[in-house]
Amino acid sequence: MSGRLMPCSPREVSSLFLFEKLGPEQLGRLCSEGRVELFQPGPVYTEGDPATCFFVMIEGTVVLSRRVGGDDVEVTRTSQRGVYAGSMQAYLGDRVRQTYTNSMRVTEPTRFFVLPADVFAGVMREWFPMAVHLLEGLFFGSKSTQAAVGQRERLLALGSLSAGLTHELNNPAAAAVRATATLRERIAKMRRKLRVIAEGPFSREALAGLIEIQERTAERVAKAPALSPLEASDREDLLTDWLEEHGIDQAWQVSPTFVQAGLDVDWLEQVAAAVDEEILPNAIGWLNYTVETELLMNEIDDSTTRISHLVDAAKQYSQLDRAPYREADVHELLDSTLLMLSGKRGPGIRLVKEYDRTIPRVPAYPAELNQVWTNLIDNAVSAINSAGGQGTLTVRTALDHERVLVEFRDTGPGVPPEIRSRIFDPFFTTKPVGEGTGLGLDISWRIVVNKHHGTLRVESVPGDTRFQVLLPLTADTPAEEAEESV
């Protein structure tokens, strides 16, 4: 079914949360290659048809359904702006069969921003190349290591991971790009400053002394102490006064950089004593560029290290390079999952880890336990957000007789007693309309109980809800016999 074409406004597109961080050129490209369509009540696309478009809702109401046996089961109904569906895996190209994995219909006149699948794939590869490589690996890895998990479960896990990973990678990658561009500019200025110094009437000894000061300055940057805002402000004032007294132009711009690098008035006195007075302004400018390049290289190092940690966490989360069944450290699995989902926790949610590091490793399917942790953490975060977004998520491990206990505790509103017996049923959800499929706890229960012969239970009162996973320390069933579908 096709809708009626409407004008596409880059400003309106930028108000959708998927695109709110994009620049004017990117928004212009989306509007020129995509379109806005108005659909009347009825079907938009059907599960199993070729996936030709990626849909982002601007206004209206959508209903997503999945075919279970001979029936269509409604899994989501929402009026939330910015929700998306359609050709979600277009970035994988012809390596997978590109069909719609659900059916979508609208219950009232509804406007969508629509991207053709090939445009969506191109934008993903061009704007987020590293994220796409990681997502490709995670997709095919999860396909092989979770072969026993059904189509619904794989897509649910991949969708959650894709959003979190893309969010987490964007910040350090953008910081590294910005720092690299600034570094190139500073090095060019440093070359020009060096040329000015070299063309001046300075002796070889004076230049050698300046180089020695530069090397000692770089060493100071590496050992710069952490200062409180008040300490940094006081030191900036002292440095600004010193620089102005010695005839240094734009001292107020130079002093914050020197303070960040751990330099103080005593250090500048040493510099002034080591060089002639006539060379001091150029020497200070030269050292300023030296400090800036060192700080920028530190920023690039921090950003790339963060990306490397995310890649390691992604590998640990997905267990791409591990055996599907092995003895696993639950703390490693928990930490990788918490890192992958850190973007979902708002600033008002405090994370507390209460780990018993003495508990032994457990025989497990690590990738599937990570899926359980993902579902339980996501539920806890949603519960806290529903109560105002302020609260605590506590992850605790302990030894419980001959089993390992992993507990997720949140300070949300709790699970009412009248629905507690139903929360593990398929498609039952306590989340607001449009925010949950009702599959997370059903999947988690089957992974824990059916596959690991463990226990999943809940204890809840307002302000204290605890989901507890108990895993046996010994395997009841050989790995080759435990490959039953969950």
Q: pLDDT at residue 362 above 60?
A: yes
Residues 47-55, mean pLDDT to the nearest whole number: 92
pLDDT (tens digit, 9 = 90+) per residue, 71-109?
677 888 899 999 999 998 887 777 778 889 889 999 999
Looking at residue 466, its pLDDT comes to 94
Quote the percentage of the chain above a pLDDT of 90: 28
Burial of 161 (0-12, 13-18, 19+ CB in 10 A): buried
The answer to whether the beta carbons of residues 460 and 414 sit under 8 Å apart is: yes
Looking at residue 310, its pLDDT comes to 67
pLDDT (tens digit, 9 = 90+) per residue, 186-197?
777 777 766 766
Residues 130-145, mean pLDDT to the nearest whole number: 64
Distance CA 88, CA 101 (A): 9
Q: What share of the chain is helix, strand, coil (3-state, %, to 5)?
A: 50, 20, 30
Burial of 10 (0-12, 13-18, 19+ CB in 10 A): middle
Looking at residue 277, its pLDDT comes to 75
Residues 331-353, mean pLDDT to the nearest whole number: 85
Q: pLDDT at residue 357 above 80?
A: yes
What is the CB neighbour count within 10 angstroms for residue 252?
12
Q: pLDDT at residue 477 above 50?
A: no
Distance CA 270, CA 253 (A): 21
Q: pLDDT at residue 266 above 90?
A: no
Q: pLDDT at residue 351 above 90?
A: yes
Looking at residue 154, its pLDDT comes to 46
Residues 345-365, mean pLDDT to the nearest whole number: 91
Looking at residue 145, its pLDDT comes to 44
Range in 118-122, 261-265, 460-464 the model is least confident about: 261-265
Query: Please, what are the domains in the chain?
Result: 4-127 (2.60.120.10), 134-321 (no CATH), 327-481 (3.30.565.10)
The amino acid that residue 388 corresponds to is G
* Residue 232, CA distances (Å) to 55, 261, 319, 451 in order: 49, 11, 44, 56
Q: Which residue has the higher pLDDT, 369 or 346?
A: 369
pLDDT (tens digit, 9 = 90+) per residue, 279-303?
777 778 778 877 878 787 877 877 7
Structure tokens at 38: 């108005």
Q: Which residue has the higher pLDDT, 360 or 172?
A: 360
- Please name every residue paired with 400 in a beta bridge, in sequence order, or none if there are none: 403
pLDDT (tens digit, 9 = 90+) per residue, 446-473?
888 888 888 999 898 999 999 999 999 9
SS3 state of residue 207:
helix
Distance CA 290, CA 269 (A): 18
